[in-house]
Each structure stands twice: as structure tokens, then as C-alpha cells.
């Protein structure tokens, strides 16, 4: 049994800790009310529309200020029952997070939040217990008169002054924040921070149809310190930059075929790589026959821009020889379906023919480095050469289409009177791989992990992922990931591990 004195001191300790929890919520509440997007960033929340900022201020502000209000009131007045309000909210928050860990594809970083919230619940709970043990009298709550005492009014006034202060200082805060955000971008060395090995990231896991979570097809591969980009779909170059990758470091771009959704970002990529590091050499663009036509076209389209840049920044900052790209076509000798296109410094890249008729040639790529390997399918129907190349690879990045969803979408488009778009969505069914077929290929090739990309239809919310997978998990027992921009799959040399991280 504890002595009265021990109980008293315990009660004080937990009351102080509960007060600290209340203050943390107060800071978060004021933060969401005054700088909603900054605080939302810490919670990995981004408003989907401008109106979303309103919800961040209102809903998140209310949640934290509400928990803070009852937490601090309970602590300061010793009316312990009030602490049940934040406890109930926190329990619901933790339940939601655990549900999300099970059903959503979320990174393990949320485990840290769960731990913090469980600590808060424990502190508040023990504060209630300690307070009960101390007073041994039931807490009947407070009368209305007790709630509205001068201390409460003074507390509310302080909070309002703080909020007003932040609003008044928002120009100064904006300048300070710029420095913080810029430092994030300029000082980060994503490639330097990775361990030696093969790393595969998604900068565009989408297809031609717009998808809020996915730009047009673009995958980057980091083999050791060598940085390669496979395809440059629309919007993907921004994703690469948002992932804080330095485009000046790109060694080469590899194109799988020349459909618009795979090349639309090429001009921007050539420009950013050139201007990023004052490169004196144009960007090598490796691709099957036809790549020279594409590169010539982009070089011509960007030639005026290149002239302006040199005139404005000078030839030291933008050396004229580095503008644009240089086509590096490869061909398949008679009867072969694969060719080694890079074999340098331990990095071996093999191009192989796939089946995307009438697009010919269309290829996929196999990257190998220090015993780790990945196959990137490009656009294709299920095909034998891909299965052969994928045999035993660590990671298979395969394009995927869910036919039932595409058909449903097509019917909806047709019923809206847009027959041409409906016809196109019907036609695409015959030159892509169905989700379940990709799973069968992963199974028969014995790959370590299947990542689906070039997703058709778009999956703007993760709630669609399960329907997209269909029966895929029946055909392949390994891990399947529905790709989204920002994912990075790290395969350290000398191990068989595949570690999934997020760069966005």
C-alpha cells in the first residue's frame, strides 16, 4: 500500500504531465487555426482543394483545441472526469490508425504516432486514477458557474491573443518558413543518403488518364550512385524534383516506347538536367529504333528556349553544348529478343522486346547491380520474354489494368455521350496486362515483390485498391504493392531485403 504522501506526490506528477499533454494539444490547435498547411504537413495531410484548408483550420483546429480545453480544465480544476473527453478522442484516433495500418497501404511511420497517442492516453488515464486515489470522493463534475470563472475567461483571452499574434506576424513567419523549406530542398542528398544497392522509385505510376496520386509513367533507378530514369511521362519531372532528387545527376534516360504518356516530360527533363549542374554534355536518351526522331523533335522544340537561357545566364552557367538530348538507339540482332544496353561499373541493363502491338518496337528493362535486380515491364500484354527476364528478380514493376473497372468506366463515359473517349477506353483493353495476369507472371517467374504501375483506370483514393487487385492475391503469394508516386523500394547490396519507403 502506498502512503498518503506518496499518493499526493504521484498525483502532482501526473497532473503536471496531463497539463503538458493539454499544452501540446493547445499548440497544435493554435497551429492548425493559424498555419493550417504547415501543421498539416507534420501529419502528412495535404488539402486536396483550396477549400480543404478551411477544413484543416476548422476540423483539426477544433479537435486539438477541444481536447486541450477539456484536458487543461480537468487538470487545473481537479475535476478529473473532464479528462475522459480527450481520452475518448485519443482512443478513437488510435483505433482509426490501427484500422488504417491493417487496411491501407501506409508506411510504418504511423506507428510512432500511435506510440505517442498511447503515451498521452496513459498519462491522462493515470492522472484520473491518481486523482481518484487522492481525494477518494466521487467527482460530480462542475456547475455552469464554476466553468465560467475568471481564470477560464483569462485563459481563453490568452489563446485568442496568441492566435491574433500569429496572424499579425504572418509576413515574418512566411519569410522564416521559406528558409526552412528551401533548406529541406537544397541540403537534402537523397542518393548520397541511400546505402549501396539497387533502389527503384516511382515518379509516375499512372497512365494517360489523370490520377491525383500519379503522374504519367516515370520510374527512377539508382544503382550504387548511378541515377537512371525510365520514361518521362507528363507531370513526372515535378514529382522527381518534389522527391528532392537532383536532376543534374541523371546519367541517362531509357525509353520503353514512344507513346505520348511516356515521353511528354522529356523536354523538361533535358532542361532541368542541363541547368541543374551546368552540364556540358546533352542528356543521353537510350531507346529502341525511333528514339532519334523523338529526341530530334524535342531538341528542335526546345532550341529557342535553350538560346534564351544561354543569353540570359551565360555559357558558364548554361554551357551551350549541354542543351537538349542525344539519342542512343539500340537494335536487336536477328532472332534475338534482348540486348545489353548498359554494362558499366557493375550496372547491367538489358532491354527486351515486349508485346504492345501496334507499337513496335516496345521494350522493358532489366537492371542488375551487386546481386539485386528489377524488371520494368513498360507497356505490354503478358509476354514470354518478360517472364524470362523476370525469372528470380527481386522486384517486378509491371503495368496493370483492371478490366472490370475499365469496362464500367467506359460504360459511364458512353452514357455521358462521349463516345469517342468510350471507344478509346474499349480499345486499350487489348494491349495491356490485366492485374491478375501480372500476378500470375510474378508467380511463375518467382519474383520477390510485385509492384503494379501504369494503373488503369486511375485510383484517386486507396479505397479502390482492393477492387483493382481483384483476385490477384490468389495467383501470387508474395507481396503486391499498388504503386503510387513517391514510393521507393530499396534493395541493399549483400542482402535479400526490399525496404519500402516514401519520398513524397
Overall size of the chain counted in residues: 504
First to last CA, the chain: 53
- Three-state SS sequence of 430-465: HCCCEHHHHHHHHHHHCCCEEEEEEEECCCCCHHHH
The three-state secondary structure class of 28 is helix
Sole residue written with cell 481520452: 87
Q: What is the DSSP letter of 378?
A: -
Beta bridge partners of 499: 490
Which residues are CB-neighbours of 134 under 8 A, at least 6 positions away?
7, 8, 11
Please report, for the chain, how many H helices and E strands are present, in that order.
21, 15
- CB 325 to Zn ion: min, Å: 20
Residues in Cβ contact with 58 at an 8 Å cutoff, skipping those fewer than 6 apart? none
Comparing CB distances to Zn ion, the nearer of 210 and 346 is 210
Q: What is the DSSP letter of 321?
A: G
Q: How far is the CB of 290 from Zn ion (least distance, A)?
A: 13
CA proximity to 28, closest of 38, 39, 37: 39
Q: Which residues are part of the catalytic machinery?
A: 261
The three cell numbers locating residue 41? 504537413
The CA distance from 109 to 265, in Å, is 32
Q: Rank residues 130 and 459 by Cβ distance to Zn ion and give the closer one.
A: 459
How far apart, in Å, are the Cα atoms of 295 and each of 298, 324, 329, 342?
5, 8, 10, 19
Residue 86 or 378: which CB sits closer to Zn ion?
378
Q: Which of 99, 98, 39 is nearest to 63 (CA)?
A: 39
Smallest distance, Zn ion to C-beta of residue 25, A: 47
Give yes or no for a contact between 276 and 185, defined as CB atoms under 8 angstroms apart. Answer: no
400, 377 contact by CB (below 8 A): no
Question: Minimum Å distance from CB 430 to Zn ion?
Answer: 12
Nearer to Zn ion, 379 or 485 (CB): 379
When the beta carbons of 134 and 259 are compared against Zn ion, the nearer one is: 259
Q: Which DSSP symbol is given to 176?
A: H
Contact, 32 vs 74, CB < 8 A?
no
Q: What are the residues facing 449 on neighbouring strands?
A: 395
439 C-beta neighbours (distance < 10 Å), count? 26
Closest CA to 188 of 249, 101, 278, 144: 249
Q: How far is the CB of 259 from Zn ion (least distance, A)?
A: 4
Q: Which residues bind Zn ion (CB under 5 A)?
A: 259, 261, 379
Query: CB of residue 406 vs Zn ion: minimum separation in angstroms?
Result: 14
CB of 433 to Zn ion, least distance (A): 12
CB of 451 to Zn ion, least distance (A): 16
Amino acid at each position: 500500500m502506498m502512503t498518503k504522501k506518496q499518493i499526493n506526490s504521484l498525483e502532482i506528477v501526473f497532473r503536471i504531465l496531463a497539463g503538458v499533454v493539454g499544452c501540446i494539444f493547445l499548440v497544435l490547435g493554435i497551429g492548425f487555426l493559424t498555419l493550417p498547411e504547415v501543421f498539416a504537413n507534420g501529419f502528412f495531410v495535404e488539402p486536396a482543394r483550396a477549400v480543404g484548408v478551411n477544413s484543416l483550420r476548422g476540423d483539426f483546429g477544433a479537435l486539438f483545441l477541444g481536447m486541450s480545453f477539456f484536458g487543461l480544465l480537468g487538470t487545473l480544476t481537479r475535476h478529473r472526469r473532464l479528462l475522459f473527453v480527450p481520452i475518448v478522442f485519443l482512443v478513437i484516433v488510435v483505433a482509426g490508425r490501427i484500422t488504417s495500418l491493417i487496411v491501407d497501404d501506409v508506411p510504418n511511420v504511423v506507428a510512432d504516432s500511435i506510440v505517442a497517442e498511447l503515451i498521452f492516453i496513459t498519462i491522462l488515464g493515470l492522472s484520473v486514477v491518481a486523482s481518484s486515489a487522492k481525494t477518494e470522493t466521487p467527482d460530480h463534475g462542475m456547475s455552469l458557474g464554476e466553468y465560467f470563472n475568471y481564470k477560464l475567461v483569462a485563459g481563453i483571452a490568452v489563446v485568442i491573443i496568441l492566435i491574433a499574434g500569429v496572424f499579425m506576424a504572418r509576413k515574418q513567419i512566411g519569410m522564416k518558413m521559406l528558409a526552412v523549406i528551401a533548406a529541406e530542398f537544397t541540403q537534402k542528398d537523397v542518393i548520397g543518403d541511400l546505402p549501396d544497392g539497387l533502389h527503384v522509385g516511382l515518379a509516375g505510376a499512372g497512365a494517360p488518364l489523370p490520377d491525383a496520386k500519379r503522374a504519367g509513367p516515370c520510374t527512377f533507378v539508382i544503382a550504387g550512385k548511378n541515377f537512371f530514369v525510365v520514361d518521362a511521362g507528363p507531370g513526372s519531372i515535378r514529382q522527381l524534383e518534389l522527391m528532392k532528387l537532383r536532376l543534374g545527376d541523371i546519367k541517362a534516360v531509357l525509353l520503353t516506347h514512344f507513346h505520348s504518356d511516356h515521353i511528354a516530360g522529356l523536354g523538361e527533363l533535358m532542361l532541368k538536367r542541363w541547368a541543374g549542374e551546368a552540364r556540358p554534355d546533352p542528356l543521353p536518351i537510350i531507346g529502341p529504333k525511333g528514339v532519334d526522331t523523338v529526341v530530334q523533335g524535342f531538341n528542335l522544340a526546345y532550341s529557342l528556349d535553350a538560346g534564351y537561357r544561354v543569353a540570359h545566364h551565360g555559357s558558364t552557367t548554361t554551357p551551350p553544348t549541354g542543351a537538349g538530348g542525344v539519342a542512343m538507339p539500340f537494335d536487336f540482332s536477328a532472332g534475338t529478343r534482348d540486348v545489353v544496353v548498359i554494362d558499366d561499373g557493375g550496372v547491367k541493363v538489358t532491354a527486351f522486346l515486349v508485346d504492345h502491338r501496334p507499337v513496335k518496337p516496345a521494350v522493358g528493362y532489366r537492371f542488375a547491380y551487386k546481386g539485386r535486380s528489377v524488371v520494368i515491364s513498360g507497356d505490354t500484354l503478358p509476354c514470354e520474354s518478360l517472364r524470362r527476364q523476370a525469372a528470380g528478380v527481386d522486384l517486378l514493376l509491371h503495368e496493370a489494368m483492371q478490366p472490370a473497372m475499365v469496362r464500367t468506366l467506359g460504360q459511364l463515359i458512353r452514357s455521358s455521350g462521349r463516345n469517342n473517349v468510350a471507344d478509346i477506353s474499349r480499345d486499350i483493353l487489348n494491349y495491356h496486362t490485366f492485374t491478375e495476369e501480372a500476378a500470375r507472371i510474378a508467380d511463375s517467374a518467382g519474383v520477390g515483390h510485385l509492384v503494379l504501375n501504369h494503373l488503369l483506370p486511375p485510383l484517386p483514393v486507396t479505397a479502390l485498391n482492393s477492387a483493382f487487385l481483384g483476385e490477384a492475391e490468389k495467383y501470387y503469394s508474395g507481396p503486391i504493392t499498388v504503386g503510387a508516386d513517391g514510393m521507393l523500394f530499396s534493395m541493399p547490396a549483400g542482402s535479400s531485403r526490399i525496404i519500402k519507403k516514401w519520398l513524397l
